[in-house]
Chain A
Amino acid sequence: MKKVSISFTLNGDKVTAEVPPSWTLLKTLREYFELTGPKEGCGTGECGACTVIVDGKAVNSCIFPIPEVEGKSVTTIEGIASKDGTLHPLQKAFIENNGVQCGFCTSGMIMSAKALLDHNPDPTEDEIRTGIAGNLCRCTGYVQIVASIEKAGELIRQKK
């Protein structure tokens, strides 16, 4: 299988992947970089478990062709804590507010929430629900997830 060389920034580091051009960003993250935080749920952009941030925007990595990340900046759940291990406010808030049940949707939920809070640290409940409308939680723990995101917004606003 023909391979191409794709260079981009992954969680702050300059990286190059040598993968077939038909691979998706998700497949590359999981199988080339062994970052298994982003999950494959549906594989068709419906469930949001694969959500990562590309140049500041939340996208479904399962339908994102790998050649399209050339030169771009990709952030996954593995890249949001500080280098010293301090958790991101969203991670803290999800733990404290029981925003995690089975955990399969969690990394996608947090990445959608991060894309939202990065632009708007004080969202309304409606804006939060719109921000995570593309992330399915089949444990149906949405109330705690929304509360976690509200709490994370609070933590982020306090820090500023």
Chain B
Amino acid sequence: MVDYDYKKPKSLKEVFGLLKKYGPKATLIAGGTDVMINIRNRELSPEILISLRGLSDLCYIRKNNGYHIGALTTHRMLEQSDMVRAGLSALHDAASQVGSVQIRNVATVGGNICTAAPSADTAGPLLALDATVALEGPNGRRRVPIADFFTGPSETVRKGNEVLVEFDIPEEPGHFGSAYWKHSRRKAMDLPLLGIAVGLALSESQEISNARLGLTVAAPVPIRAYKAEEFLIGKRLGDDVLVEAGKIASSEASPRDSLRGKAWYRREMIEVFVPRMAKLAAERIRGE
């Protein structure tokens, strides 16, 4: 068993002080559902864990000139929020399918994004919802679009002395809906072998005024399917248009063969689920 010290600071200032003192010997821990397992599997052997769970003021879901979600918000809080269900449906779809109740009760959305697994469930929806990530360091705060946040598997633009503190999601003008499909073999306790998130804005005449597609496990990092989005914008919602968008999105992906699925299969499933999630987003706009 790995032996380590454990600190639970009460303020970000204290966190920055500890990070400066211990440097790479320290690991940040939020809900711990990844960190504790990595320690057990000897993939991580920190000398000290710095818990962020004492920062209770980073645990919130607010709507005020857009949506604001604190990094320590748990998946369970997102799942149980009517505001998230109604306004950020794709994120609700994702959060309520992570792990189990026990996992969702502790696992945080900030942790899910900072772990930066190619399969992170909340990453696709946050891409489709055009979220911005707020990172705070000793010298202040900076904001990064989530599309620029991931740099590789388990790698992000977050620096060692920074803490992810908040997600900001703009409120879309007009009729906006979103949906996420977690493609996995089991309903619970499984990672997606593909994740498809679609955010869609429609005019009264069913013309697509805005579209964003977030794909996970489709490339080394969660990606936007920009070409498919560009194709969709300005078109009238219809089967032919959505099928074509699925094909374009599939061509933008670079999935790999893995134990859980082959690349060709993932490509075909992108073609299937991009249209289905776009339709579900549209149904949600119409309140069906």
Give the interface of A toward B (CB within 8 A). 1-2, 4, 20-22, 24, 43-46, 48, 51, 57-60, 63-65, 67-68, 70, 112, 115-116, 130-131, 133-136
Across the interface, do B51 and A45 meet the contact criterion of CB distance under 8 Å?
no
List which B185-222 residues lie within 8 A (CB) of chain A.
187-189
**A60: min CB distance to chain B, Å:** 5
Q: Are B102 and A65 in contact (CB under 8 A)?
A: no
A44 surroundings in chain B (CB, below 8 A) = 37, 40-41
Query: Are A133 and B53 within 8 A (Cβ)?
Result: no
Chain A residues near B101 (CB-CB < 8 A): 58, 112, 115-116, 130-131, 133-134
Partner among B6, B37, B53, B106 whose Cβ is within 8 Å of the Cβ of A59: B106
With contacts A22-B4, A67-B6 taken as known, whether A134 is within 8 angstroms of B188 at the C-beta atoms is: yes
Q: Is B223 an interface residue (CB 8 A)?
A: no
Instruction: Tell whether, in the assembled complex, residue B100 and residue A64 are in contact, meaning their CB atoms are under 8 Å apart.
Output: no
Please state if A67 and B103 are interface contacts (CB–CB under 8 Å).
no
Q: List 13 A-B contacts (CB under 8 A).
A: A1-B3, A4-B6, A43-B40, A44-B40, A45-B37, A45-B102, A48-B102, A57-B76, A63-B36, A65-B51, A115-B101, A134-B103, A134-B188
Say how far B240's CB is from chain A's closest CB, in angstroms: 36
Q: 0/1 per residue, B51-69, Cβ < 8 Å to A? A: 1010000000000000000
Are A68 and B51 in contact (CB-based, < 8 A)?
A: yes
Is B103 a contact of A45 with CB atoms below 8 Å?
yes
B residues whose Cβ falls under 8 Å from a Cβ of A: 1-6, 8, 29, 32-33, 36-37, 40-41, 49, 51, 53, 76, 99-103, 105-106, 187-189
Q: Which B residue's beta carbon lies closest to that of A66?
A: B6
Task: Give bound CA distance, A73 to B33, whole Å.
Answer: 20
Neighbour of B187 across the interface among A4, A45, A57, A133, CB < 8 A: A133
Other 11 A-B pairs with CB < 8 A, given A21-B4, A68-B8: A2-B5, A45-B33, A45-B103, A57-B76, A60-B103, A63-B36, A68-B32, A115-B101, A131-B101, A134-B103, A134-B189
Q: Which residues of A contact B37 (CB under 8 A)?
A: 44-45, 63
Task: Enumerate chain B residues within 8 angstroms of A48, measured Cβ to Cβ.
Answer: 100, 102
Which residues of B are found within 8 Å of A63, using beta-carbon distances? 32-33, 36-37, 40
The residues of B that contact A1 with a CB separation of less than 8 Å are 3
Q: Are A65 and B29 in contact (CB under 8 A)?
A: yes
Residues of chain A within 8 A of B32, CB atoms compared: 63-65, 68
Contact residue among A58, A67, A131 (Cβ-Cβ distance under 8 Å from B8): A67
Given the complex, which residues of A lie within 8 Å of B41, measured CB to CB? 44
Which chain B residues lie closer than 8 Å to A60 at the CB level? 33, 102-103, 106
Residues of B within 8 A of A59 (CB): 102, 105-106
A72 to chain B, nearest CB (A): 11
Q: A43-B40, A44-B37 are in contact. Are A51 and B102 (CB under 8 A)?
A: yes
**CB distance A58 to B36 under 8 Å?**
no
Q: How far is the CA of A157 from the CA of B19 in the complex (A)?
A: 51
Q: How far is the CB of B151 from chain A (nearest CB, A)?
A: 27
Residue of A nearest to B39 (CB): A22
Q: Determine if A22 and B33 form an interchain contact, defined as CB atoms under 8 angstroms apart.
A: no
**Nearest A residue to B37 by beta-carbon distance?**
A44
Closest chain A CB from B272 CB (angstroms) = 25
The distance in angstroms between the C-alpha atoms of A116 and B101, with both chains bound, is: 10
Q: Which of B40, B41, B51, B101 lies at the interface centre, i.e. has the most chain A CB atoms within 10 A of its CB? A: B101
Closest to A111 in B: B102
4 A-B pairs with the lowest CB-CB distances in the bound complex, closest first:
A134-B100, A133-B188, A21-B6, A63-B36
